[in-house]
A and B are shown apart, each in its own frame.
Chain A
Amino acid sequence: MRRRQKENEGLTIEAHYRSVKDKTLMRLFILPTLVLLIAINVFPLVWSLFLSFANYTAKMTNVWGKNPEMIGVANFHRILTDPEMWVKFITTAKYVIMSVVGEMLLGFGLALLLQLNFKWKGIITTLLILPMTMSPVIVGLMWRLFYEPNWGMFNFLLGLGRIDWISDPARNLYSIVIADVWMWTPFVMLLALAGLSAVPKYLYEAAEIDRASWWFKFTRITLPMIYPILMLALIFRTIEAFKIFDLPMGITGRGAMAPPLLAMHLYNVSFVTWNTSYGSAIGYIMLIMILAITLIFVKYLNKAKQ
């Protein structure tokens, strides 16, 4: 009896010792990732927040009190009171609305079409997904060649003559929207397809028994059932479109005649003219705007789930 008690005690101590050891091990394994995360993500976030309240250029030697020099909210005040910055905000908003609406409508439309049974459906679906799998920079450069006014395919195929889609400010925003819609429509299509395939078939069967019309089934069954997944696509695409950089960089470059998009401006301010602190302030304003938009969408998403 005593022996068994002793054995039990020994086992408990060993188990305890093992669990402590496991926890330490677990912490040790997490530590490098944690250190890396702090160094790569958290520190730059905090440092750039500090810089957004300062006057600082990374190009010049650091002299505390002079570079960086604390200037309070002057950078934010300058951004929000500069009429040219508002042109950039409005252009970015236009871009987001045009591209996201285009992608949602086309993506959902294609998903509905792919629900039908037809020959080569598998191959066509795969081909439709291809643009999304390409690198945005490559897509940008490829569309730049398409848009070339003198010998590009775009004007030639549409019979438009020698229209300048790249450096003419009246058109180049639309040229980026077209490329973005071409590239990211498959993403919405894929999500919508996944949503559509998850709608229970018995709902349609029941509606058919009641002789419901196609429109009735679409508005009362299909749309409500895949609304949450469409909201998810909307969130992803809005965030991505808001901070678009690689596609316009490839199509129009970062010149003065390129569309005044926020992310492009942020690049020019931070890495061309090296106004690091002003760039940080623009970055934070963008972050706040993206967070606000996402929160609104997430609220609707949660409502839809309920």
Chain B
Amino acid sequence: MKRKVLWFGVVILCLCGAATFLFAGKEKPAEEQFITIHWAQWAPADYLEKLSEGFTTETGIRVVVEQTPWETFVQKYNTEMIARSDAWDIIVGDSQDIGNMAVNGHYVELTDWIKDHGVDKTFTPASLTYFAEYPKGAGKYFAVPCEGDGLAWAYRKDLFEDPRNKALFKNKYGYELGVPKSWDNLKDIAEFFHDPDKGFYGIAIYGDNGYDSLAMFAEQVIWSFGGELGDYSTYKVDGLLNSEGSIAGIKYYRELFKFVPPGFGDAFYVKCNDAFTAGIVPMSCNYLAFFPALANEATNPYAADTDYFACPPQKGPDGKTRQYAALGGQGASVVTYSKKQDLAFKWLEWFIKEDTQMEWAKLGGYTCHAKVLASDEFLKATPYNPTFKITMEIFKDWWACPEYDVLLRTFSETIAGYVVGGKGTAEEVLNKCTQQWKAIFKEAGYYD
């Protein structure tokens, strides 16, 4: 009996061995090819995932767009890059972070690729400078402009065109109520509509100072009033950040902030859109990427009466007129640590094509492709696309050096108290910030 059991075991073992040998010889089923793109959690990321379905159909390579909430988006990809992670093949990162990513070697340099594929000729020069180039003016590129965005305005046409409002406004300010022709004009309109007793307020603008929202609004008024954040090539800030124009810009921001609804000290894109769709403000400033919600009747009951305009020009204390808007948006970069760089480049090649860019624009993405931007098809696709085109011509960006985050934090900490809380004066806060920035640049070795 014992012998029989032993033999039975030997036979079973032999059969198992033979089966393993036979199956091991067979071909493994083909592994699915895919790339992962990391971006912030918002509607354009959904559009990109939808757009990339076309790439999958063409190549069979699946595209996963991983989204992280805006509040932790920059920290998350910075942490992953510090750990040299290959979790993502492409990062659609913030424009001001490009210096940090380039200097530390987290992004693959795309200079030759961009020239070989003619991106420098087909995309707008400003978008390449701000989304892809570091150092600015050096001709070295680390990204492909993906989502061009900027701050612009939505307003209630019905309120602006109401004959009674028009008559009252003209009587008070001596000129016609309409789309503001200057920042001064915009403040008058905010003041005119501001009626807290009736639960109606003059304006919805950013007040949040956790990341870059307050700084982005501040920089566009600083530039429009003739001020500067500093010299991006020499890192000189004294006499620029605390110049007469910069002081006038920050003073203006404080004055405008008096007409926001209560609790706007932490207002970012959600609060601005919410105030507008709740019908408690006549106009709201936001990134263009958040305007689809305002044009949609399902999310905005005033959608039919909503129109858009770009940041207006302004005469500065020096008598010169300037027009600027703060840049938003991101460029797509290939991650150095990605094990699928070949697939990532394949996706980039497909993404920069004119027809892909047109499709991208139709889905709701903001293309930086010059030809698509200028096309009638694009301009008529949404009610805010003409505003986007103007904004793309007047935008400027924050510092892009690796220290941009410390600059952001110190700027927000010093400016917020004055703009939101009304503490101190514009001169005091800008002088304080200038000294802090000088110390940061000195420590980083830019003055050596």
B partners with A: yes
* Chain A residues near B (Cβ < 8 Å): 58-61, 148-150, 162-164, 166-169, 252-258, 268, 271-275
Evaluate contact between B208 and A150: CB separation under 8 angstroms: no
Residue contact A256 to B413, C-beta cutoff 8 Å: yes
A275/B266 contact (C-beta < 8 A), A150-B280, A256-B416, A256-B417 known = no
Highest count of chain B CB atoms <10 Å: which of A58, A163, A253: A253
A257 touches B265 (CB 8 A): yes
List B residues 400-442 near A (Cβ within 8 Å).
402, 405-406, 409, 412-413, 416-417, 420-421
B215 CB to nearest chain A CB (Å): 10
**Contact A255 B405, CB 8 Å, known A59-B104, A169-B421, A272-B75:** no
- Min CB gap A112→B, angstroms: 38
CB distance from B408 to the nearest CB of A (A): 8
- With A59-B100, A164-B263, A167-B263 already in contact, the answer to whether A273 and B405 are too (CB < 8 A) is yes
Smallest distance from the beta carbon of A282 to chain B beta carbons, Å? 15
Q: Does the CB pair B416–A257 fall under 8 Å?
A: yes
Q: What is the minimal beta-carbon distance from B176 to any residue of chain A, in angstroms? A: 31
Q: How many residue pairs at the A-B interface have CB separations less than 8 Å? A: 80
CB distance from A135 to the nearest CB of B (A): 16
Looking at the complex, which one of A150, A163, A252 makes contact with B266 (CB distance below 8 Å)? A252
Query: Which residue from chain B places its CB closest to the CB of A147 in the assembled complex?
Result: B263
- Are B210 and A253 closer than 8 Å at their CB atoms? yes
Chain A nearest Cβ from B158, distance in angstroms: 22
B266 touches A257 (CB 8 A): yes
Q: Which residues of B have CB within 8 Å of A166? A: 263, 265-266
Chain B interface size, under 10 / 10 to 19 / 20 to 34 / 35 or more: 20 to 34
Q: How far is the CA of A253 from the CA of B278 in the complex (A)?
A: 23
Enumerate chain A residues within 8 angstroms of B78, measured Cβ to Cβ.
59, 274
A268: B residues at CB distance < 8 A? 409
Q: Contact between A167 and B413 (Cβ–Cβ < 8 Å)?
A: no
For the complex with contacts A169-B421, A253-B210, A257-B420, 4 further pairs of A-B residues with Cβ separation under 8 Å are A150-B261, A252-B266, A256-B412, A271-B79
Is the C-beta of B105 less than 8 angstroms from some C-beta in chain A? yes
Closest to A165 in B: B263
* 17 residue pairs A–B, Cβ–Cβ below 8 Å: A58-B82, A60-B104, A60-B402, A150-B261, A162-B196, A164-B263, A167-B266, A168-B421, A252-B266, A254-B210, A255-B208, A256-B416, A257-B265, A268-B409, A272-B75, A274-B405, A275-B406
Chain B at the A interface: SS class: helix
A150 touches B262 (CB 8 A): yes
B101: min CB distance to chain A, Å: 10
Inter-chain contacts of A60 with B (CB < 8 A): 103-104, 402
Closest to B405 in A: A273
- Are B209 and A256 in contact, with the CB atoms below 8 A? yes
Interfacial chain A residues near B79, Cβ < 8 Å: 271
Taken residue by residue from 272 to 302, chain B's Cβ proximity to chain A (1 for < 8 Å, 0 otherwise) reads as: 0000001010000000000000000000000
Residues in A neighbouring B265, C-beta threshold 8 A: 164, 166-168, 257
A274 to B444, CA, bound (A): 14
Residue in contact with B412 in the complex, picked from A149, A164, A255, CB distance below 8 Å: A255
**Nearest 5 interchain pairs by C-beta:** A167-B265, A149-B263, A255-B210, A149-B262, A256-B209
Min Cβ gap A220→B in Å is 50
Whether, in the assembled complex, B145 has its beta carbon less than 8 Å from a beta carbon of chain A, the answer is no
Known A-B contacts A150-B280, A168-B265, A257-B421; the reply to A272 vs B405 at CB < 8 A is yes
Q: Which residues of B contact A169 (CB under 8 A)?
A: 421
Residues on the A chain within 8 Å of B405, using CB: 272-274
Give A150 to B421 CA distance when docked, in angstroms. Answer: 18
Q: Which residues of A contact B103 (CB under 8 A)?
A: 60
Q: How far is the CA of A58 from the CA of B79 in the complex (A)?
A: 9
Once the chains are docked, how many angstroms separate the CA of A172 from the CA of B405? 25
CB of B337 within 8 Å of the partner chain = no
CB-based nearest A residue for B403: A273
B93 on the A face (CB < 8 A)? no
Q: What 1/0 mask marks residues of chain B from 378 to 419 whose CB sits below 8 Å from any chain A CB?
A: 000000000000000000000000100110010011001100
Which residues does chain A contribute within 8 Å of B210, judged by CB atoms?
253-256, 258
Asked whether B350 is an interface residue with its Cβ less than 8 Å from the other chain, the reply is no
Report the separation of the CA atoms of residues A255 and B417 in the bound assembly, to the nearest whole angstrom.
11
Q: With A150-B261, A150-B262, A150-B263 in contact, do A253 and B409 touch (Cβ < 8 Å)?
A: no
Distance (whole angstroms) from the CB of A47 to the closest CB of chain B: 14
List, in ascending order, chain A residues with CB within 8 A of B280's CB: 150
Name the residue on A nearest B412 (C-beta): A256
> Given A255-B412, A256-B412, A273-B409: A148 and B104 within 8 A (CB)?
no
Nearest chain A CB to B189's CB is how many angstroms away? 21
* CB-CB under 8 A for A255 and B266, given A61-B105, A167-B207: yes
Bound Cα distance from A273 to B278, whole angstroms: 36
Bound together, the chains give a CA A167 to CA B268 distance in angstroms of 12
- List B contacts of A168 (CB < 8 A): 265, 421
Q: How far is the CA of A168 from the CA of B71 in the complex (A)?
A: 20
Q: Give the interface centre of B103, B278, B280, B421 by most chain A CB atoms within 10 Å.
A: B421
From residue B288, how far is it (CB to closest CB) to chain A in Å?
A: 24
Would you give the 0/1 interface string for B54-76, flagging 1 where the beta carbon is closer than 8 Å to chain A? 00000000000000000100010
